[in-house]
Amino acid sequence: VVVAFDNRGAGKSSRPDFPYTMEMFVEDLKHLLDYLGITEGIHLCGSSMGAMISQKFALKYPKMTKTLILCAPGSYYPPKTSDQNLLAYNMLKDLDLEQRVKFYFPLIYSRAFKKRLENDRAFFDEISKDMNFCAQLVDPPLYKDYINQNEAFKNFDMRGSIKDIIQPTLILSGSKDKMSIPGEIQSMHEEIPNSILEVILGAGHGFNIEFPEETNRIIWKFVQEHLS
């Protein structure tokens, strides 16, 4: 069974108007699993901010988490990046939905994929049907949602803690990820004891959309190896 959900402040989940924390996101996931009656054996997969939440969840609830799959992860978030986010969010306020999506192209995707999206309308429309991609169009975050989510990034620093992650861990990264801090992915792999690192060549931060088949193949192979 695959359980996919929207964090608070995103998609179809509620959007309370106050600053969020990573601890809130962790407890949101815990409450969802409790509601579903899932108490153990979780193969926990998170991408980008979801990978941050997943690290904290695995440390807080190790008996529930069987494996950890960290896609485009980070182990800390520099304060200056959080400040830069606020400037970007302020710019987004005046853009329409499609312009807002295209604003993220250079950050999320490799140059080759970005050019194809910009120059091939049929391809853009096809990719827009993807659940992760079209969320920005169908249920776009409001400015207040960006601000509240950005608060969760502040003070996020797992560099002294990820060595305590005990679960088998897959770290998955794109070789052209512009949002990764240089050397950080390799450092995470070296610090998490039972981890493997897979790099998708030519892929950006959104490698699950650029290379969905390869992404799914790598993840499913890892999960199968830890089903027993």
Each residue of 87-131: pLDDT tens digit?
A: 777 777 777 767 777 777 888 889 999 898 889 988 887 777 665
* pLDDT value of position 177: 93
Distance between start and end Cα atoms, the chain = 15
Q: What is the pLDDT of residue 169?
A: 99
Q: Where are the alpha helices (DSSP H) in the chain?
A: 22-36, 49-60, 79-92, 97-108, 111-119, 121-127, 131-138, 143-153, 184-191, 207-210, 212-224
Q: Could you tell me which of 85, 181, 205 has the C-alpha nearest to residue 133?
A: 205
The CATH homologous superfamily to which domain 1-228 belongs is Alpha/Beta hydrolase fold, catalytic domain (3.40.50.1820)
* 3-state SS assignment for residue 119: helix
pLDDT value at residue 58:
98
CA-based max dimension of the chain = 51
Residue 226 has a pLDDT of 96
**pLDDT value, residue 100:** 73
The pTM (predicted TM-score) of the whole model is 0.91
Any idea where the domains of the chain sit in the sequence? 1-228
60 vs 24: CA distance, rounded Å: 13
User: Which residues of the chain register pLDDT less than 70?
Assistant: 97, 129-138
pLDDT at residue 88, as a whole number = 75
pLDDT recorded at residue 191: 97
Note the pLDDT of residue 131: 52
